[in-house]
């Protein structure tokens, strides 16, 4: 790829921490704008397209097609440091790496993603991957979810959602709908008790989609436990402890299958850093909600799951944030004020059956922000499911990661 050179773009060192969708998308946009000194820090060998993991767990996609070598997505001309970041010092503008060396920067883009806190629920780390417990939130477990769903003919299936911010907030309930749809097609749903544990007062925070999801849950006979979270797992006994968030009541529920989503937070080193937002109990990076620039360190920008923004953490949000971060970083390089603004757009493709989906798109104000204004995406649609399964992956690999979309 040959970047288009922008007049007046000075040579400055840009360091991007994280080689996921946020980091790579930003690097590609900066490279196409003519920035020559860009370094990405990421230790991963594989770059994952995580939105398909729900369909992997639901038996509709192979894990193999969701990953590609990390080297294949690093933009041409971008330096790649295959180490983990362990600390940042914005005072001297350095990032400390896992081998003790330091990388300096003039501008820093924080995009290390989100941390899965498997130890955040007592017993979960020991049970996941065993004891009929799985999770679509890790590639090593997502295929197991489908095996558990396929093998189940009766009993109790529990699906949980943590009480923390998380990536793809709809994923914990999407797999419940896929599982129930499969069991209904196989004629065994009436022998399976399906329990969906949601920590919030509603299935979805935007009313128009919440109403549809309530209808979907009723269709499958799912017991929805609102204002409730899983607080313990006993893999040996195959029980979970469910705690009411308001009253503090506890219930021990036996399971024959458990799909558990772990609590999530910023990586530990980010939470301990001077860039963490003191208002965030989860250590996410402080950033202006519109410019994505750090309010106390103007040479630092945050993007993706690690940014403390009042919107859902999704790949669709990253797609809208990347041009804002790249554009405002270019402004800063030229000594100008940020001219690009992010309105909080995010999108949750809510799979409700093997071949049906709702597409929830909204902004900071929870107002619908449809990309397809002539299509009613508040109703279950097959064309939207086809778009998620077959349309979005090439858009991601060929468009978003290359800085074209």
| Catalytic residue selected from 127, 196, 325, 348 | 348
User: Per-domain residue ranges for the chain?
Assistant: 14-114+266-341, 118-263
Q: Cβ neighbours of residue 105 under 8 Å, at least 6 residues apart?
A: 13, 14, 15, 39, 93, 94, 95, 299
| Catalytic residue selected from 168, 176, 195, 330 | 168
Backbone angles phi, psi at 361, to 5 degrees: -125, 130
Position 237 scores a pLDDT of: 97
Asked whether this chain's domains 14-114+266-341 and 118-263 adopt the same fold, the reply is yes
CATH class, domain 118-263, is alpha beta
Position 10 scores a pLDDT of: 56
Which residue do the tokens 């993603």 mark? 113
Backbone angles phi, psi at 130, to 5 degrees: -140, 180
Contact 364, 343 (CB under 8 A): yes
First to last CA, the chain: 15
Separation CA 378–CA 307 (nearest Å):
28
Separation CA 304–CA 313 (nearest Å):
7
Which residues are 15's β-sheet partners?
39, 108
Which residues are 253's β-sheet partners?
240
The DSSP annotation for 47-104 comes to EE-GGGHHHHHTTSS-GGGGEEEGGGTSPTT-EEE-S-EEEEETTTTEEEETTS-EEE
Position 12 scores a pLDDT of: 87
Q: What is the dihedral of CA 331, 335, 337, 339, to 10 degrees?
A: -20
Using alpha carbons, select from 15, 16, 17 the residue that is nearest to residue 269.
17
**For 321, how many CA atoms within 13 A lie in the half-sphere containing its CB?**
35
Strand pairing of 264-265 and 257-259?
A: unpaired
Position 4 scores a pLDDT of: 39
Report CA Rg, the chain.
21
Separation CA 330–CA 275 (nearest Å):
21
Separation CA 167–CA 314 (nearest Å):
6
Which residue do the tokens 């299935």 mark? 203
Question: CATH assignment of 14-114+266-341, given 3.30.70.260, 3.40.50.2020, 3.40.190.10, 3.50.50.60?
Answer: 3.50.50.60
Position 405 scores a pLDDT of: 87
Mean pLDDT by 10 residues, the chain (405 residues): 44 94 98 96 98 97 98 98 98 98 98 98 97 96 98 98 96 98 98 98 96 98 98 97 92 98 98 98 98 98 98 97 98 96 97 97 96 92 95 96 94
Structure token pair of residue 360? 């929830």
Q: Has 168 been annotated as catalytic?
A: yes
Position 373 scores a pLDDT of: 86
Tell me the whole-structure pTM to 2 decimals: 0.95
């Amino acid at each position: 790829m040959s970047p288009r050179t922008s007049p007046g773009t000075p040579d400055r060192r840009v360091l991007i921490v994280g080689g996921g969708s946020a980091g790579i998308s930003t690097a590609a946009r900066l490279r196409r704008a003519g920035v020559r000194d860009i370094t990405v820090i990421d230790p991963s060998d594989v770059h994952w397209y995580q939105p398909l993991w729900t369909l992997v767990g639901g038996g509709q996609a192979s894990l193999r097609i969701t990953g590609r070598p990390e080297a294949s997505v690093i933009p041409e001309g971008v330096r790649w440091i295959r180490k983990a970041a362990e600390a940042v010092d914005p005072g001297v503008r350095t990032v400390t790496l896992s081998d003790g060396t330091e990388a300096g920067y003039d501008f820093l883009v924080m995009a290390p993603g989100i941390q899965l806190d498997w130890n955040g629920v007592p017993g979960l780390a020991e049970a996941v991957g065993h004891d009929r417990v799985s999770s679509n939130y890790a590639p090593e477990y997502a295929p197991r979810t489908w095996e558990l769903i396929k093998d189940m003919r009766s009993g109790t299936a529990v699906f949980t959602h943590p009480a923390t911010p998380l990536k793809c907030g709809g994923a914990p309930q999407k797999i419940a709908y896929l599982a129930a749809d499969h069991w209904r097609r196989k004629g065994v749903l009436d022998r399976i008790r399906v329990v969906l544990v949601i920590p919030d007062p509603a299935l979805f925070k935007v009313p128009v989609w919440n109403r549809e999801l309530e209808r979907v849950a009723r269709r499958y006979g799912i017991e929805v436990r609102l204002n409730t979270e899983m607080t313990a797992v006993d893999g040996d006994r195959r029980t979970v402890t469910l705690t009411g968030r308001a009253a503090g009541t506890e219930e021990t529920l036996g399971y024959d299958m458990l799909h558990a989503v772990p609590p999530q937070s910023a990586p530990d080193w980010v939470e301990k850093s001077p860039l963490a937002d003191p208002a965030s109990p989860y250590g996410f990076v402080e950033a202006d909600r519109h410019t994505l620039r750090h309010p106390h360190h103007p040479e630092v920008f945050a993007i993706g799951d690690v940014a403390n923004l009042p919107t859902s953490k999704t790949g669709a949000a990253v797609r809208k944030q990347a041009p804002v971060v790249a554009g405002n970083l270019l402004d800063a390089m030229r000594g100008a004020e940020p001219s690009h603004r992010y309105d909080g757009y995010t999108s949750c493709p809510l799979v409700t059956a093997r071949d049906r989906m709702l597409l929830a798109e909204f902004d900071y104000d929870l107002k619908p922000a449809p990309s397809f204004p002539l299509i009613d995406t508040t109703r279950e649609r097959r064309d939207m499911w086809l778009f998620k399964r077959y349309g979005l992956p090439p858009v991601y690999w060929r468009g978003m990661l290359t800085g074209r979309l």
